[in-house]
Amino acid sequence: MSIDAILSHIDDQMPNALERLKGLLRIPSISTDPAYAQHCQDAADWLVNDLRDIGVSAEKRLTPGHPMVVGHYGDSASESGPHLLFYGHYDVQPVDPLDLWNSDPFDPQIENTANGPVIRGRGASDDKGQLMTFVEACRAYKAVTGTLPCRITFFFEGEEESGSPSLIPFLKENADELTADIALVCDTSMVSPGVPSISSQLRGMLKDEFTIHGPRIDLHSGHYGGPGLNPLKEISRIIATFHDDQGRVAVENFYDGVQEVPAELLRQWENCGFDEETYLSSVGFTQPHGEVGYSTLVQQWARPTLEINGLWGGYQGVGSKTVIPAEAHCKLTCRLVGDMDPDIVRDAVRKHVEDRLSTDARITWNNDLEGSPASVMNIDRPEFERARQALSDEWNREAVFAGMGGSIPVTRFFTDILSLDSMLIGFAQDDDAIHSPNEKYDVESFHKGIRSWARVLDKLNKA
C-alpha cells in the first residue's frame, strides 16, 4: 500500500482528529495538584479507550501517584520490522494565573491568527497535541492498511509535569515489557517554523546552593563596617571569578568531557533558519552575552554554562537597615554537554568557591540537590537518517539534527534502565506558550505532525 493513500486519509480525517484532540484537552489532568487526581485518572482512561479503538491492547497501570498507560500492538512472532516504544505524557501544568487566559483553558477552541489557525488550550502543545500526532498516524495507518506497520508499544505517563516520581520504579519493574529496539519521543519543538527537527543532543543539569557565613550575628555597619567581614561582599567577589572576560567558565577542569560540534551538524545548524536577531530582541537584548567565539545556537545547544539563579542576603524590607548580614546565599545551575560528569563538575565548582574563601568566612552546601548528565543520541543508527528523510519529504526542506538547551530526563532513564536509544521528533513552536497562559498548538503542526509520523513509520518499517 502506497504511503500516499495513508496521507490522503489523514487529510480527509483532519476534522475528526481535531475533535478527538479537543476531547482529550477538555480533561484537566493537572498532575501537581491533588485536587485534580481524578481527572488524571480520567485522562488515562480516555487514552486507553482511544488506543483500544485502533486495535491496541491497552490498559491503565496504577502507581503510587498517577497512572501509566501501556499499550501493545503486534508481537515478535507475527510482526516484521522494528519494535518501537512511543512515549508521551498526558498530564499538564496548572493554568494559573487564570485571569491572563483569553478563554477557558479546558474548553479548547480553534482560533485564526496571523500565522494560521491554532488550537488553544492547556496541554495543546505540551504534550497532548504532540502525543496525538503519533496516535492519529497509527489510526490512519490501521484504517487504510488494516494493520500497523510494525510492532509498537505505547507508553504514556501522568506525572511528567510534577517530577515523574513514579517513572523510575515503573520502568525498573516493567523493564522486560517496555524494552524495544528504539524509543520515539514527541515532546520537543521545531528549530524554526517550517523546519523539521530531530533533537540529537540534550544538555544535562547540575543544581547547587551554598551559604557563606560571616559574623556570629548581624552587625551594626557603623561599628563593624570596615574591619568586619561582609558575607554579601564575600559572595559577590567569589561569584565574579566564575567567568573570564571572554565568557568562559573559569572553574578548573570545568570543560572536561566537552567536545566540539562536528562539521556536518554545524552545517545543518547554520542553515536551519534560526533568526538570532529575533531570538535576542524578543527578550530585550541587542547582542549575545555568552562565550566569545561560539554562535548563539552552539552556545545554546552544545556548550556548558554556569548560571547564578538566585543571590540574596541581608535586609530585604522597605527602607534602609544599616547592618552587615551574618550570611549570604547563592543558587546556581550548570548546563552540561557531551561527557561531562555532574559529580565531577560539582566537586570542581565547590573547590573553586572554597579555595577563594577569606579567613573567618565559612561555607555550607545544600547536599539534597541532584545532577544528570547530557543525553547525546546515537545518530549513526540508520533509523535516524531514515526519519530525517521522511521529515524532509513531508516538509519539503532539509530536516536537521538539532540540539536542545534544556533537558528531557526520560531519555536518560530509557538509556540507563531499558538500554534504549531515543529519537526525539516534535512539532511544537517556540511561541506555543507552554506552561503559560493561552497555550496553543498550530493546526499545521498537528496536521503535518500526523503526516510526518506516518512517513517515519513507513520509512522505519522498510529498513
Q: What is the pLDDT of residues 73-101, one digit of tens each?
A: 998 756 678 999 999 999 999 999 999 99
**C-alpha angle 110/154/48, rounded to 5°?**
65
User: For the segment 212-234, what is each residue's pLDDT rounded down to a tens digit?
Assistant: 999 999 999 999 999 999 999 99
Question: What pLDDT sits at residue 259?
Answer: 93
Q: What are phi and psi of 154, to 5 degrees?
A: -100, 135
Q: Residue holding cell 500526532?
A: 133
The full set of domains in the chain, from first to last, is 3-202+374-461 (3.40.630.10), 204-258+304-372 (3.30.70.360)
Which is it for the CA torsion 309, 312, 316, 321, positive or negative?
negative
Per-residue pLDDT tens over the stretch 396-414: 999 999 998 877 889 989 9
User: Residue 211: helix, strand or coil by DSSP?
Assistant: strand
Could you give the percent of the chain with pLDDT greater than 90? Answer: 92
- Omega within 30 of 0 (cis) for the link into 91: no
CA-nearest of 352, 313, 290 to 215 is: 313
* Rounded Cα–Cα distance for residues 4 and 226 (Å): 79
Band of pLDDT at residue 64, cut at 50, 70 and 90 = very high
Bridge partners of 344, per DSSP, are none
CA dihedral of 380, 382, 386, 387, whole degrees rounded to 10: -60
pLDDT band at 372 (very low <50, low <70, confident <90, very high): confident
The residues pairing with 211 across neighbouring beta strands, listed in sequence order, are: 329, 364
For 403, list phi and psi in degrees, rounded to 5.
-95, 175
Mean pLDDT, rounded, of the chain: 95
Ramachandran angles phi, psi of 110, nearest 5°: -90, 125
Residue 1 pLDDT level (bands cut at 50, 70, 90): low
Exposed, middle or buried by CB within 10 Å (0-12, 13-18, 19+), for 213?
middle
Amino acid 387: pLDDT: 98
Examine the pLDDT at 346 and tell me if it is beyond 80: yes
- Over residues 419-453, the pLDDT tens digits come to 999 999 999 998 999 999 999 999 999 999 999 99
Task: Note the pTM of the prediction, 2 decimals.
Answer: 0.86
Under 8 Å between Cβ of 378 and 421: yes
403: β partners? 201
**In 235-326, which ranges are E strands?**
305-313, 323-324
